[in-house]
Amino acid sequence: MEPETGLSKPMAVIACATMAFLYVAILYAPTFILRLPAPSSLKEFMIRRFICVAISSFMSLVLCAFLLPLRKREATYLLGVYGIRLDHFWQAVAFPLSLTSLMYAGSLVFKSLLLVDSWREHMHQGEGFFFNCVKAILQSFLAGLSSTASNVLAWRNYVVVSLVIDRSEITSFKDNLGRCTLTKWLSISIKAPITEELVFRACMIPLLLCGGFDIYVVILLCPILFSLAHLNHWMEIYGRQNYSLLKAFMVVGLQLGYTVIFGSYASFLFIRTGHLVAPLVAHIFCNFMGLPMLFVRRTGIVSLAFIAGAVAFICLLCPITRPHLYNDGTDDCECWHGYCS
């Protein structure tokens, strides 16, 4: 990118805010703009949302390419700006994934304890041969993978799109969801890796950096923009679920707080590595694991594992994300953040 970008800070912020608004607003387009009938099934509802968010992501990529003052307009160079690269791919997958897993040391230890208990139960029931136990575990794992691959909700959670559920759009199939599931869907928005990382990392970060913002400001600003785009959850909780004003703010505040924390971490990974796949794999892993487990009653090993993992995470955060691990240290490096030039 040129040193004199011609992209002002206000223009960069306005562009990012527009993309954040579009990312959420387009989800309501089928109902409020196109006036389409309510979907008859959950699968139809999901597919409709997938299409909407794909359109908004593509529009954000085009807007970003138009505004960024690039040295070259070639497709490969533009993909590099977005962090879509094949070089140093395994480093961008393995290192951030290992780093992120440290924050889930408590959860991983707890799952290991459950696995050991299950193993002992098989032994107690006469299924004591090691081969049979391993076979049962593998069969259960493969069955889970097969179920996940064919489940539209799994594609929502781990691959495609962030969904904001509106009650008016799911009236026709709410009986299939059930009351508890419906309430959960209305109050929680699941982050989705690909589209969110494309819009809120690959597009916004280059724009803000070209606009002249400091790196640490960018790391905080991107997730804040995404969090503000989800304030409509407060209206849903307060206005339609009859929550008190304080309780509605607490529920939404907790969700937005987690979004800001994870978004800052994902932005840090993207800026340090220059690879979109780095925050992407971290995002998928966090969606799969949920919130980190801090403690479990009647055992302190989970808490100790969490503390040890958190300390290791803090100590390794900068060393394991050094830009030279993910880029060739050459003068003609085309990495958009310029660390390796």
Which residues form the catalytic set?
Answer: 196, 230
Q: How far is 50 from 159, CA to CA, in rounded Å?
A: 10
Name the CA radius of gyration of the chain, rounded: 22
Burial of 145 (0-12, 13-18, 19+ CB in 10 A): exposed
- The residue whose two tokens read 């700006």 is 81
Backbone phi and psi for residue 212, each to the nearest 5 degrees, phi listed first: 100, 10
Beta strands, E only, 256-330 = none
At 151 the three-state DSSP class reads coil
Q: How far is 208 from 7, CA to CA, in rounded Å?
A: 9
Q: How far is 152 from 48, CA to CA, in rounded Å?
A: 12
Query: Which of the 8 DSSP states describes residue 325?
Result: G
**Contact present, 234 and 248 (Cβ < 8 Å):** yes
- Please report the DSSP string for 177-229 in residue order: H-HHHHHHHHH-----HHHHHIIIIIIHHHHHHHTT--HHHHHHHHHHHHHHT
Closest by CA position to 292, among listed 106, 25, 165, 139: 106
Q: How far is 251 from 237, CA to CA, in rounded Å?
A: 8
Structure tokens at 25: 């607003």
